[in-house]
Amino acid sequence: MEIFEKLFPPAEYARRTRAVQGRMRAAGLDLIVAQDPANMCWLTGFDGWSFYVPQCVILHVDAANPVWFGRAMDAKSARITTDLPDADIVPYAERLIHHPVEHPYDALAALIRDRGWARARIGVEMDAHYYTARCHQHLAAGLPEATLGSNGDLVNWARLVKSPEEVALMRAAGEIVSAAIDRTAEVMRPGVPQQDIIAEVLHSLTRGVPGAGGDYAAIVPMMPVGEGTSTPHLTWTDKPLPTSGLAMLEISGARRRYHAPLTRTFHLGKPPRELADLAKIIVEGVDCAMEQARPGNTAEQVEAAWQASIARHGLKKESRVGYSIGLAYPPDWGERTVSLRPGDQTELAEGMCFHIQAGMWLADYGAAISESIVVTPSGADRLTRAPRDLIVID
């Protein structure tokens, strides 16, 4: 039995490689260094939790395929999960891990020189989570004749429009997260320790749904409770849920690393009138945003529709109302490209996917009822089937 089923055929990775090389030509780049694990996976299929040490794929504008560069013990993962030829799976020595003076990217610079690319115009991912200041410093020191600069996250931008096969994975992730929201509503009760709720959520997200097992999400379940709902990124504690009050859950289904995130707000006991009203305002605002999320409209138009809707109730959201989603690794399921906010004039196109994060974090409490959507010719289509309202636990 094959131990690993590759997600896409070699032709699809070749298509992506050509698309990225086209962007490289347009940007005047000979070589890119892609360290974002999602970019590595999208370009080659490489998958594994080894991104906590320096690793990357490099792609030359004229090459047949990218080159994987990583820690010796992870080279076998590259052989198992990618179709790259052995000559293009290049390990570095174990002694470079956490070495006080040397660094794995000394070896990366040597690889680039060995391939005859010492004088290349090289584009790196300056703000990718794991591309540290020290990675950059050692790479630059080892390539004194190269021109080193930002590649403008061009691989991230190449990932923006999803193929039908990718949208199918996003929809599977949507099924997975919908099932987990259902499960949460079953188990969330006053007095239950928070970690017991999260245990059920993770169990559901990981088992997945028939035909689609769950993968790990790029972010763990976040569940602010009570006044904690006035800020979005608190995780659970082992305190019991209150007899009466708020809990907000932000989770994502993941299917083969494709994500469909969702936020829902729960109220234990009868909700105060102002909270029920806020939930309605949010859902109405999301309706207005989705109405505008169609090919040809811009990202800022989608946000403006949301903002106009909540403004009718005297509200304003300072932070963006959404961002592009797709293939992702920790620590974030956003793609770091399009934001639904003023000034982002990206034109929406069929196959783009967004998390409309319609959360209002007020001074003492908050509520969020988000949607993950795919842009279709006829407008936004939801990736999930979770109930669109405040979920009241009586």
For residue 343, what are the CA distances in angstroms to 53, 346, 386?
A: 36, 9, 31
Q: Are 385 and 312 in contact (CB under 8 A)?
A: no
> How far from chain centre, in Å, is Cα 224?
21
CB of 236 vs its own copies, minimal distance in Å? 8
**Which amino acid is present at 99?**
H
By beta-carbon proximity to its own copies, the closer residue of 63 and 126 is: 126
CB of 379 vs its own copies, minimal distance in Å? 25
CB of 189 vs its own copies, minimal distance in Å? 15
CA dihedral 229, 232, 235, 237 (to 10 degrees): -20
The angle subtended at Cα 5 by Cα 337 and Cα 262, nearest 5°, is: 40
How many Cα atoms are found within 13 Å in the side-chain-facing hemisphere of 340?
30
Please give the radius of gyration of the chain, using alpha carbons only, rounded to the nearest integer: 22
By beta-carbon proximity to its own copies, the closer residue of 17 and 41 is: 41
CB of 238 vs its own copies, minimal distance in Å? 3
Is the Cα dihedral 94, 327, 173, 367 positive or negative? positive
By beta-carbon proximity to its own copies, the closer residue of 80 and 110 is: 80
Distance from C-alpha of 122 to C-alpha of 59, rounded to nearest angstrom? 10
CB of 110 vs its own copies, minimal distance in Å? 19
The SS3 assignment for 213 reads coil
Q: Phi/psi of residue 33, each to 5°?
A: -115, 115
By beta-carbon proximity to its own copies, the closer residue of 128 and 188 is: 128
Q: Phi/psi of residue 346, each to 5°?
A: -60, 130
By beta-carbon proximity to its own copies, the closer residue of 132 and 376 is: 132
CB of 29 vs its own copies, minimal distance in Å? 16
By beta-carbon proximity to its own copies, the closer residue of 83 and 350 is: 83
By beta-carbon proximity to its own copies, the closer residue of 251 and 393 is: 251
CB of 266 vs its own copies, minimal distance in Å? 15
